[in-house]
Each structure stands twice: as structure tokens, then as C-alpha cells.
Amino acid sequence: MPTAFSQEINNCVEVLKNGGLILYPTDTVWGIGCDATNKEAVKKVYDLKNREDSKALICLVGNDGMLEKHVENVPDLAYDLIDLSTKPTTIIYDHPKGIAKNLVASDNTLAIRVASDKFCQYLINKFRKPIVSTSANISGQPTPKSFDEISSAILKGVDYVVNLQPEHQNSVPSSIIKLSNDGTVKVIRE
């Protein structure tokens, strides 16, 4: 692993452990991240984005094992969606567990994506906890398609900015699919 890459991972883990916010490249767009199990850190994200905490955020996990640790019952269909999706896909699950309460939607659901890019996977696996992933914009503003479009308010509002280019120049948000435990499947965003 290149030294710069390792250093960025270590810097991020240190900030996350201390309840700070990072700005990092994800498998979709640049994201604001924090420890998804830390209520105070999650509140900082809502504050930075000027967003009500009733609008839930996405959470990234590093692998299926971490997903299973934070969702009471992962429907079998979820594994097919994760394996067969041609683009990053976020799934909304019923009954999350071990996550900051202010990250969970009022209907007791949570949007989780198994990270598909190398940086996020290494970061999450080294941190050993899920991290928040929300677009790097103030609520209501357009999602930045590149680092150059990220506002100075966001850049100044985070504790650490990752100094790496995204692995994928995707710049589109993930698909979002809601999988309920009763078998209902609903596409929220294609």
C-alpha cells in the first residue's frame, strides 16, 4: 500500500476516534464522514449541513459481516443486490442496531451501503466501525460533482480533508432501495 494512502487512512482514523468530521472521497461523490456510532459526531454533521436530524444520513460499512452486526435481520435479497449491482447501491434496512440514535430514521430504518472502493474499505476496516457518508454540501444546495465545487463552509467545517483523488470519478449519488422485513421492495432513487 502506498505510504500516502496509508497516512491518509491513519489521519482519518485518528479524527474519527476523536469524534471529528472528515471530508473524503467515496465510491460515489465526496462525502462528509464521522463515526456512525457517536451521537455527538453525527450531530456535528447535521449542524454543518444545516439539516434537520429527522432526515437520516447514509452509513457505510466495510463488508457483509459489519452489515450483519448493525442490522437485526438482513434480507437475503440484500446480498443479491449488493453482489449484482453495477453501480453503488444503498439499501434501507429495518431495525438497525449499535448505531447513533440520531442517525436512525423515525420509522426505525437506516440507509447502509457496503463500500466498494478501496479507500473506504481500508478506512472502515481499520476504524472497525461504520462511518457516516453524506454529500459534501449544505442541505438544499446541489451535490458537488468534484472537489472544486465543495463550498468553503464545508471545507472549513470539517476537521480533516483527505488529500487523495477519488478512485472512481463517478460523481453521481448511489441508487437507494428500501428492503423491508415484510418483503416489500421500493426503489427510492435510481
Grid cell locating 88: 453503488
| Domain locations in the chain as residue ranges | 3-189
Please write down the HEC assignment for all residues of 42-68: HHHHHHHHCCCCCCCCEEEECCHHHHH
Q: Which set of grid coordinates corresponds to residue 111? A: 440507509
CATH class name, domain 3-189: alpha beta
Q: What is the pLDDT of residue 170?
A: 57
Mean pLDDT of the chain: 91
Mean pLDDT of 105-127: 94
Note the pLDDT tens digit of each residue in 71-115: 999 999 999 999 888 888 999 999 999 999 999 999 999 999 999
Nearest one of 60, 107, 108 to 82, comparing CA atoms: 60
| pLDDT, greater one: 52 or 19 | 19
Q: Mind listing the pLDDT tens digit for each residue in 4-23? A: 889 999 999 999 999 999 99
Element (H, E) at 6: helix 3-17
pLDDT band at 54 (very low <50, low <70, confident <90, very high): low
pLDDT at position 167, please? 67
* pTM tops 0.85, yes or no: yes
Percent of the chain with pLDDT over 90: 68
Crossing angle (nearest 10°) for helices 118-127 and 3-17: 50
Q: Percent of the chain having pLDDT more than 70? A: 95
Q: What confidence score (pLDDT) does residue 56 get?
A: 74
- pLDDT-derived band at 129, boundaries 50, 70, 90: very high
Judge whether 149 and 141 are in contact, CB under 8 Å.
Answer: no
CB 88 within 8 Å of CB 174: yes
Cell 440507509, residue? Answer: 111
The set of cell numbers assigned to 64 is 457483509
pLDDT of residue 51: 83
CA 65, 69, 71, 76 torsion: positive or negative?
positive
Residue 170: what residue type?
N
Categorize the per-residue pLDDT at 143 as very low, low, confident or very high, splitting at 50, 70 and 90.
Answer: confident
